[in-house]
Amino acid sequence: MKEYNELFIGGQWEKPSGRGIIKVVSPSTEEVIGSVPEGTTEDIDKAVLAARNAFDNGRWPRMEPAERAEILKKVALGIQSDAQGFANEIANEVGSPVSWGMAAQVLAPVFIFNYYAGLASTYSFEELRQGVLGQAVVMKDPVGVVGAIAPWNVPLFIAAAKIAPALLAGCTVVYKPAPETPLCNNRLAELFESAGLPEGVLSMIPAGREVGEHLVTHPGVDKISFTGSTVAGKKIGALCAERMKRFSLELGGKSAAIVLDDVNIDEVLQALVLAGTMNNGQACVAQTRILVPDSRYKEITDALVERVSSMTVGDPADSATEVGPLIAERQRDRVESYISIGKEEGAKVATGGGRPEKLEHGWYVEPTVFVDTDNSMRVAREEIFGPVLAVMPYVDVDEAIEIANDSPYGLAGTVWSSDPQRALDVAKKVRTGSTTINNFLLDFAVPFGGYRESGMGREFGPEGLELFLETKAINLPHGFTPSIA
Ligand code: NAD
């Protein structure tokens, strides 16, 4: 049991304003594993005040990016030194199998913090530009106080994706983790505390959506960085637009894996299945629509079904586990209702569809493959957020691209082929924010984000830093050339 009695407000642990407690329940044992105070609107007010003061009057935005980068490096080192502790905690809190979580939930955040620390020395925060009428300084200013709101599925990863670039930019941050996953976020806050982050620069207020909305509409917040469902993202985007507040949105997905007819299925099978089922299917980028050529439909589908049916389901802390539990009972209800919907729509369950035997506790569902689906079915169009794959046939590559693009979402995609050039030609035609050939990858130096209802803006890479910067131009008098840092 890990019990916190205080909230991390403005870089210090403080008594909460309210009496509410968030009890964190392990999805695999259904036991309470920790508790934190539930943040209130008053706590948000305090955190925003501290962030506002630190931004308007403090030294953080006025420090050199390289000095701020030192803090990011210390935090990266802190996560790395406690990698096993973080991986175990996330396995316990989220249900992510450590076999996947160590890399994706723990080491990836280390890379992200280090990547943005490195950008301090290569990114051009200020340049002298020759305009048509004279010279100008074009510079990047931090956007201000950032309100960041995150889901529960990859808590440390998303914290890194938002906090690292925001802090490098010189912003101050009020972070609202999802109520399901406050423990690993508090552990991160402790690392910031020991890294020597100046007062006011970061707060961590776990709370639900009403308190989140208070952060969104708070007049002291300049920018909202949101990751979560498309439904919430649309509402948050509208609230920000009414207030002329900057915002960026990382939302849901229903990504297509296009398997080309020249694929060596044995070579890619493991990666293809992991791409669809990572984090127990609770990944915005999960490749859950698998498009298979008619000419090899039976062979490829049989291989997929055989692999999925042999996946090891169980305790996420066990290194042999490939699929763990879903985050909560309500999430299992949701996934099971989609399995029923798929059957009613006429899709055939080729494996899975029920609850695994021999697991008495935990919100598990069997990894499930629907075959003979078509793209008009709800199981092919809607984000299920569980280990459920929909396999559908296509006649030729043009049809595969058409199916991939026929989605309200456009977050990620994959193309699988023995001929990378052919796969690249296909990838260029898929209208989605990022595509990987013969694997699923998310590279932190490369922009990531959604087309259509998958979001607005791009995280990672320099583009991810620019989400937290305003561009300012200063036109200079003739004959004057300033020194540029
Ligand atoms: P959710 O939208 O229900 O909640 C996400 C966060 O937003 C939580 O902290 C919640 O408390 C808060 N929230 C919800 N409504 C709000 C509102 N009106 N105002 C302010 N805050 C609000 O999503 P979830 O169920 O926690 O997470 C799953 C979703 O996140 C999936 O749709 C998934 O695809 C998406 N996701 C996207 C990415 C990405 O990078 N694109 C990454 C991970 C998850």
Q: Give 204-263 pLDDT, tens digit per residue.
A: 999 999 999 999 999 999 999 999 999 999 999 999 999 999 999 999 999 999 999 999
- The residue nearest atom 30 of ligand 1, judged by CA position, is 228
CA of 227 to the centre of ligand 1 (A): 5
CA of 226 to the centre of ligand 1 (A): 7
Q: Which residue among 38, 44, 90, 153 has the greatest number of ligand 1 atoms within 8 angstroms of its CB, and so is best to mutate?
A: 153
Is pLDDT above 70 for 343? yes
Cβ of 216 closer than 6 Å to ligand 1, yes or no, is yes
Cβ of 284 closer than 6 Å to ligand 1, yes or no, is yes
Cβ of 152 closer than 6 Å to ligand 1, yes or no, is yes
Which CATH fold topology does 2-251+450-474 show? Aldehyde Dehydrogenase; Chain A, domain 1 (3.40.605)
Q: Looking at residues 188-216, what average pLDDT do you find?
A: 98
The residue annotated as part of the active site, out of 171, 184, 240, 284, is: 284
Cα(353)–Cα(429) distance, integer angstroms: 33
pLDDT for the residue numbered 212: 98
Query: What secondary structure does DSSP assign to 258-278, as a single string?
Result: EE-TT--HHHHHHHHHHHHHG
- Point out the ligand 1 atom lying closest to the alpha carbon of residue 177: 9
Q: For residue 284, indicate whether it is catalytic.
A: yes
- The residue nearest atom 37 of ligand 1, judged by CA position, is 251
CA of 402 to the centre of ligand 1 (A): 28
- Give me the residue spans of the domains in the chain: 2-251+450-474, 256-437
Cβ of 229 closer than 6 Å to ligand 1, yes or no, is yes
**264 Cβ contact list (under 8 Å, min separation 6):** 418
Local confidence band at 386 (pLDDT 50, 70, 90 cut-offs): very high
pLDDT for the residue numbered 272: 98
Token output for 382: 């809607």
CA of 135 to the centre of ligand 1 (A): 44
| The residue to which tokens 């060596």 are assigned | 264
- Point out the ligand 1 atom lying closest to the alpha carbon of residue 208: 11
**CA angle (472 as vertex; 67, 450 as ends), nearest 5:** 80
Q: For residue 240, indicate whether it is catalytic.
A: no
Buried b / exposed e across 302-311, counting CB within 10 Å, b at 16+? ebbbebbeeb
Cβ of 119 closer than 6 Å to ligand 1, yes or no, is no
- Point out the ligand 1 atom lying closest to the alpha carbon of residue 228: 30
CA of 149 to the centre of ligand 1 (A): 8
pTM for the model stands at: 0.97
Q: Which residue among 217, 240, 284, 440 has the greatest number of ligand 1 atoms within 8 angstroms of its CB, and so is best to mutate?
A: 284
Cβ of 153 closer than 6 Å to ligand 1, yes or no, is yes
pLDDT for the residue numbered 44: 98
The residue annotated as part of the active site, out of 38, 93, 180, 250, is: 250
Is pLDDT above 90 for 468? yes
CA of 211 to the centre of ligand 1 (A): 14
pLDDT for the residue numbered 483: 83
pLDDT by residue (tens digit) across 404-441?
Answer: 999 999 999 999 999 999 999 999 999 999 999 999 99
Cβ of 178 closer than 6 Å to ligand 1, yes or no, is yes
**CA angle (47 as vertex; 42, 50 as ends), nearest 5:** 130
Q: Helices in 132-181 by DSSP H: which ranges?
A: 155-169
Cβ of 392 closer than 6 Å to ligand 1, yes or no, is no
Local confidence band at 485 (pLDDT 50, 70, 90 cut-offs): low
Cβ of 211 closer than 6 Å to ligand 1, yes or no, is no
CA of 458 to the centre of ligand 1 (A): 16
CA 405 to chain centre: 22
The mean of the pLDDT values for the chain is 97
**449 Cβ contact list (under 8 Å, min separation 6):** 248, 250, 411, 433, 434, 455, 456, 457, 458, 459
CA of 399 to the centre of ligand 1 (A): 32
CA of 216 to the centre of ligand 1 (A): 13
Q: Which CATH architecture has domain 256-437?
A: 3-Layer(aba) Sandwich (3.40)
Q: Looking at residues 129-137, what average pLDDT do you find?
A: 96
Which 8-state DSSP code applies to residue 320? T
- The residue nearest atom 21 of ligand 1, judged by CA position, is 212
Q: Which helix (H) or strand (E) holds 128?
A: strand 126-130
- The residue nearest atom 3 of ligand 1, judged by CA position, is 229
pLDDT by residue (tens digit) across 144-157?
Answer: 999 999 999 999 99
**Three-state DSSP class for 102?**
helix
- Point out the ligand 1 atom lying closest to the alpha carbon of residue 216: 20
Q: Which amino acid is at 89?
A: E
Cα(346)–Cα(197) distance, integer angstroms: 56
**Strand partners for 290:** 257, 391
Q: How many residues does the chain have?
A: 485
Strands (E), 271-347: 289-293
